[in-house]
Structure 1
């Protein structure tokens, strides 16, 4: 039987994609690319990195990682750089054999509320990457899922959000029970925990990886705010109430750690908006739009926890998040990385990474 290991289990490598899409990273993506390179540097301290780049930007990516060992550059087309959502989800069996799952990808909602109109290159990445590595894969189509919409503890429990998995743009012909059965079958889990909501204004229909994550079996962090007037408060409060009443596949009550969101909301400025170039059918940003900033969008590597940092007026909450995660992960180095530019693209560190289990 195959199972999806927890992210904090040992990795063979991490998959990422070189960012160039003008509607996500701006007409000049240099700032975003610099932020990605910082993530590359942190990952390769303890594991290999597979980096995909399209033919037109392959040499640009090669130059950006020339100073790094452990980077395997692969020429592959994509529509954007969200490796978590378009890359394969890896599962392994008791013999340690690895295979990928190629979910159907439709840009977070297809014709209902997808974020761009052409996602064919992204949808082909999971199978193409498995083929590149010589690994088998299962084609889960037409079941629509993104890697950011699931978390597992490696011991039979998965986390998802109702707002995402039950959204009209994913699998509208399937019932909640049918979706859960498919997840159990594909991921080797026995129980799915359905959090009601995610992060306010998260354009993925509120992926779970931005609001709640396992840090150990039976133990989660939950994005939180004590400010009852913040639009995030009722969403996190609903999740907390659900988690407090839930048990995992082993029958354990969950230990819940609150991980406060940035103290100050992060908004898209007029300057930010002017920097983008959107294609027809692509979701646009507007000045004053609140971005879905959360410290839960961290990523485990073999040796570290990579934590988004937003800087400026959120310097204190940046430090607080790192301190909390260091207490929860004492055997890993906590590395805070500048992530404002990644957030502007629509996600964060967890969204641009996909682990390949050992």
Structure 2
């Protein structure tokens, strides 16, 4: 269950001068959206991922400076496959650099809407806005001040993605005092969040910020009444242990949690500790959690050998009418993943994809997507 480190030293902040040139076209470069003050931002709620979507946002942002020549073509094909699978169930809006629009169009086809936007990388879960609604029907996006996972990767362009998306939609961008990524948040839509301490409380993002202050800000912006804190693990991957590789809500009161079966992996002990904490936890409504264990594959032979290969099933994506999940070539484990997801999401189609190139970069399907609630 290793997650992505930066793939080349060229992707570090110190290498920001290596970013590709180009700028947003006039049509695709709306002015920055209004930022609301604290008083105006009250009453917002982040919906559960399983609620109805208006669209899924993705980013066709793989660059050779980060991914290298061997993975560049395959990861772009993986992105197109993910977008194609989701587009069978809901609209997909794919950001792409101006000079790669034609390539993205060839790979993604006419079923995916392309939008010109400068990008550093492809992880839309982390760079895009976290969408929220309120009880009066208003919608907005939250900008969590993306800083390249604590300054580990060049991010000048990706730091502007949340504002650009909100501007295109004509929605306000809500300012936050926190620095974090969407992959570090998991919510049930009913007041409960699961968050890893190793990511959100890391001094490379929020120095001096404790749990109480973090919880107050998440309540203000996302409607969170209770945070279940998991320790995660810092410094092992670029994300410092994102929640969406460890635990995911199926619905309020039900969580799918990953389990690493490799005793030599650092995640072996981490995932067991997480299971203990989740089984002992109660949500914002006082319910004990029903924890469904989803073990990772045990005999993966990835099509792209890489020690950072992210062979975990928990990073699935829930869209309208379907769950998009990985398969890793371990027949028994792939089938077990499919069976568990079918049982937990009986009204949705289960679609499994080969996303080995994305996984070789240390990420998964959920990492490449960001849902826009209906």
TM-score after normalising by structure 1: 0.88
Instruction: Describe how 1:79-98 pairs up with structure 2 within 5 A.
Output: 79-98=120-139
Q: 1:301 aligns with which of 319, 323, 327?
A: 319
- Is residue 56 of structure 1 aligned with residue 91 of structure 2? no
**How far apart are 1:290 and its partner, in Å?**
4.0
Displacement, 1:200? 10
Q: Please give the secondary structure, in 1, of the residue aligned with 2:157.
A: helix
Q: Is the 8 A contact 1:309 1:318 kept in 2?
A: yes
The alignment status of 1:254 with 2:254, answered yes or no, reads no
Q: CA deviation at 1:172?
A: 0.9
Aligned residue for 1:10? 52
- What SS does the aligned partner of 2:147 have? coil
| Structure 1 SS opposite 2:126 | helix
Confirm or deny: 8 A CA contact 1:31 1:341 kept in the other structure: yes
Is the alpha carbon distance of 1:352 and 1:153 closer, same or farther for their aligned partners in structure 2, counting shifts above 3 Å?
A: same
Q: Which runs of 5+ in 1 are unaligned?
A: 273-287
1:357 aligns with 2:365: no
- The structural deviation recorded for 1:339 is 1.3
- Superposed, 1:178-193 pairs within 5 Å as 178-193=213-228
Separation (CA, whole Å) in 2 of partners of 1:230 and 1:171: 28
For 1:146-165, what aligned pairs fall within 5 Å after superposition?
146-165=181-200
1:65 shift after superposition: 2.4
User: For 1:158-307, what aligned pairs fall within 5 Å after superposition?
Assistant: 158-197=193-232, 201-226=236-261, 228=263, 230-264=265-299, 289-307=307-325
Distance 2:336 2:136 in 1: 41
Q: Give the conservation status (yes or no) of the 8 Å contact 2:311–2:359.
A: yes
How many correspondences in the alignment?
331
Unpaired segments ≥5 residues, structure 2 = 1-42
Shift of 1:234: 1.0
Report the TM-score, using the length of structure 2 for normalisation: 0.84
Structure 1 position 268, deviation (Å): 10
Q: Which deviates more, 162-171 or 224-233? A: 224-233
| Residue pair 1:200, 1:235 contacting (<8 A) in 2 also | no
CA 1:289–1:229 in 2, change beyond 3 Å: closer, same or farther?
A: closer
After superposition, give the CA deviation of every residue in 1:86-111 in whole Å (9 maximum; x if it has no partner).
Answer: 0000000113221001111111112x
Partner in structure 1 of residue 160 of structure 2? 124
Per-residue deviation at 1:183? Answer: 1.3
C-alpha contact (below 8 Å) 1:199/1:292 kept by paired residues: no
Residue of 341, 358, 370 corresponding to 1:325: 341
Distance 1:125 1:32 in 2: 20
Provide closer, same or farther for how the CA distance between residues 144 and 58 of structure 1 changes in structure 2, counting only shifts above 3 A.
same
Is the Cα contact below 8 Å between 1:109 and 1:169 reproduced in 2? yes
Quote the residue 2:14 is aligned against: none
Whether the aligned pair in 2 keeps the contact of 1:24 and 1:345 (CA below 8 Å) is no
- The answer on whether the counterparts of 1:268 and 1:291 sit within 8 Å (CA) in structure 2 is no
